[in-house]
Amino acid sequence: MNRRTFIARAGAALAGTTLAPAFSRAQSQPDFRLDIAPLKLEIAPGKLIHTVAYNGRVPGPLIRWPEGKPIVIDVVNRSSIPEIVHWHGQNIPSEMDGAAEEGSPMIPPGGRFRYTFTPRPAGFRWYHTHAFAGHDLKRGTYTGQFGCFYIEPKGEAGAYDQEIFLTLHDWNAYLASGGDSSMDAAYDYSTINDRMLGYADPVRVLDGQRVLIHFLNASASMIHWLALAGHELTVVAMDGNPVPTPTPTPAIRLGSAERVDVVITMDHPGIWILGETREEMRKAGIGIVIEYANQHGRPRWVEPPETLWDYHRFAESQATIRQPDQVIPLRFESKFHGQGAVATWTINGKSFPRTDDIVLKEGQRYRLRMMNRSGDDHPLHLHRHSFELTSVNARAMRGINKDVVVVPANGMVEADFTANNPGATLFHCHNQTHMDFGFMSLFQYTSIAKA
């Protein structure tokens, strides 16, 4: 059994049960409705992408919702394969989280499902498909099925003049030689939102404005770097959670599924490119033009200084870490099947779904000791919980709360979380190919509460 058969069985088992009551609850109008359907997306003149998206657009509609207020979202699947929507970064019940492995139902073609939950915690979350893709790189997160979900905090300071959501995505995936001596996804094109660099309307700003940009890397597998020519980016939040030490940086890095909120003071009038720091990636399409009012001419790119991403820069300066109740060692390795094949991935020597469930006790604090024994960087995601980074490559830190962390190649990251949201909880690499080929594990709560 692989992840595909696991999902298929889970979907079949749930289709007749969970979905039926869902239909019966359709007495009121939903707050939002998402239609999953095929889309021909023109990312540049003449460049058409055949994909699947929400409500005929990429990204899907921005869901902006007050913290703590229940929400009802109807999802209608007009595509030809079973689908599911994952509400990434939210502490919600397993059956609403949108991962079949946790017990959320798959939505059959032509079917619909009503998601009802109370969005929390506040901050920049997102939603995306959590379907299996395997060797079919036109499914799952390779498609345009993603959107931003902003949970408004009850007391938002709003110390900015303009707010923008920008999503990064890579298109037309194919298998090519990748890291760790195996095949991995490579892409023909990339976009910010739905357009390649040079083909979107510019972001118009005023001199002196403070602009808050919510960046989301919705790529199925790529790590992206971004910089705004001539400006510094002050990182104020990661994965929707404020950072203890907002710090300016020439460039930001986003692993797959990571979010970074930055504030940019527009103090350098001109027409600039906000784009990937690597030229080949900008040529592929990652970039958008930032245009000051009353400025004319061609957009300019200024090479930012070479930057290394370091979560520590945004953490608390004094890193006194309290000890967790238990340490969970997690060793990530690949199993070689040839340079011309996709590797399978293991956590502690086992591939999902043949992994051993990790058992949690409610109320206990756990430390995930993530040891990456491969030559790839991996964006690890924990569903339904946030974790606090406590060390990266043995350097202690605190105060950075996230739900995705990039564990560097041959490196180690430790992250603590409190088991405070009972229910099946998925933990996986957010690289679609990696998760489809075994890089997953399921955390289960015991019924015995902490004494």
**Interacting span for another protein (CB under 8 A) from 49-57, 300-308, 352-360, 413-421:** 300-308
User: Can residue 260 be called a binding residue for another protein (CB under 8 A)?
Assistant: no
Q: Which of residues 161-180 bind another protein (CB under 8 A)?
A: 174, 176-177, 179-180
Q: Smallest distance, Å, CB 137 to another protein? A: 12
Q: Smallest distance, Å, CB 310 to another protein? A: 10
Q: Smallest distance, Å, CB 184 to another protein? A: 12
Q: What is the DSSP string of 170-200?
A: EEEEEEEE-GGGSEEEEEEEEEETTB-TTSS
Closest by CA position to 105, among listed 8, 5, 237 = 8
Among 188, 201, 207, 356, binds another protein (CB under 8 A): 188
Identity of the residue numbered 73: I
User: Can residue 377 be called a binding residue for another protein (CB under 8 A)?
Assistant: yes
CA distances to 108, 110, 139, 164 from 80, in Å: 8, 8, 11, 33
Closest by CA position to 370, among listed 354, 362, 361, 358 = 358
Among 3, 88, 139, 253, binds another protein (CB under 8 A): 253
User: Can residue 349 be called a binding residue for another protein (CB under 8 A)?
Assistant: no
Q: Smallest distance, Å, CB 397 to another protein? A: 18
CA distances to 246, 311, 388 from 243, in Å: 6, 10, 11
The footprint of another protein on this chain (CB under 8 A) covers a number of residues equal to 32
H helices of 176-328, in order, are 279-284
CA distances to 82, 307, 399, 404, 447 from 412, in Å: 36, 20, 18, 14, 31
**Interacting span for another protein (CB under 8 A) from 25-33, 112-120, 273-281, 360-368:** 273-281
* x/- track of binding to another protein for residues 405-434 (CB under 8 A): ---xx-------------------------
User: Can residue 306 be called a binding residue for another protein (CB under 8 A)?
Assistant: yes
User: CA-to-CA distance for 411 and 321, rounded, in angstroms?
Assistant: 20
With respect to another protein, which residue has the nearer C-beta, 349 or 375? 375
**Residue 106: what are its φ and ψ, rounded to 5°?**
-75, 145
Among 277, 355, 432, 441, binds another protein (CB under 8 A): 277
User: Can residue 350 be called a binding residue for another protein (CB under 8 A)?
Assistant: no
With respect to another protein, which residue has the nearer C-beta, 13 or 166? 166
Q: How many CA atoms lie within 13 A of 411 on its CB side?
A: 17
Q: Smallest distance, Å, CB 76 to another protein? A: 34
* Residue 101, both tokens: 């492995």
Among 51, 182, 241, 441, binds another protein (CB under 8 A): 182
User: Can residue 337 be called a binding residue for another protein (CB under 8 A)?
Assistant: yes
With respect to another protein, which residue has the nearer C-beta, 277 or 425? 277
User: Can residue 225 be called a binding residue for another protein (CB under 8 A)?
Assistant: yes
CB atoms within 10 A of CB 129: 25
User: Can residue 227 be called a binding residue for another protein (CB under 8 A)?
Assistant: yes
Among 280, 322, 394, 448, binds another protein (CB under 8 A): 280
With respect to another protein, which residue has the nearer C-beta, 227 or 289? 227
User: Can residue 51 be called a binding residue for another protein (CB under 8 A)?
Assistant: no
Q: Which of residues 231-250 bind another protein (CB under 8 A)?
A: 250
With respect to another protein, which residue has the nearer C-beta, 360 or 429? 429
CA distances to 274, 317, 320 from 398, in Å: 30, 8, 8
User: CA-to-CA distance for 374 and 408, rounded, in angstroms?
Assistant: 9
Closest by CA position to 54, among listed 69, 31, 72, 32 = 32
User: CA-to-CA distance for 341 and 146, rounded, in angstroms?
Assistant: 28
Q: Smallest distance, Å, CB 275 to another protein? A: 12
With respect to another protein, which residue has the nearer C-beta, 158 or 338? 338
Query: For residue 380, what are the β-bridge partners?
Result: 405, 429
Helix (H, G, I), strand (E, B) or coil at 399: coil
Closest by CA position to 130, among listed 115, 151, 152, 150 = 115
User: Can residue 230 be called a binding residue for another protein (CB under 8 A)?
Assistant: no
CB atoms within 10 A of CB 22: 20
User: CA-to-CA distance for 427 and 407, rounded, in angstroms?
Assistant: 13
**Interacting span for another protein (CB under 8 A) from 56-64, 94-102, 263-271, 335-343:** 335-343
* Residue 23, both tokens: 């239909």
Which residues of the chain form contacts with another protein (CB under 8 A)?
174, 176-177, 179-182, 186, 188, 225, 227, 250-251, 253, 277-278, 280, 304, 306-309, 336-341, 375, 377, 408-409
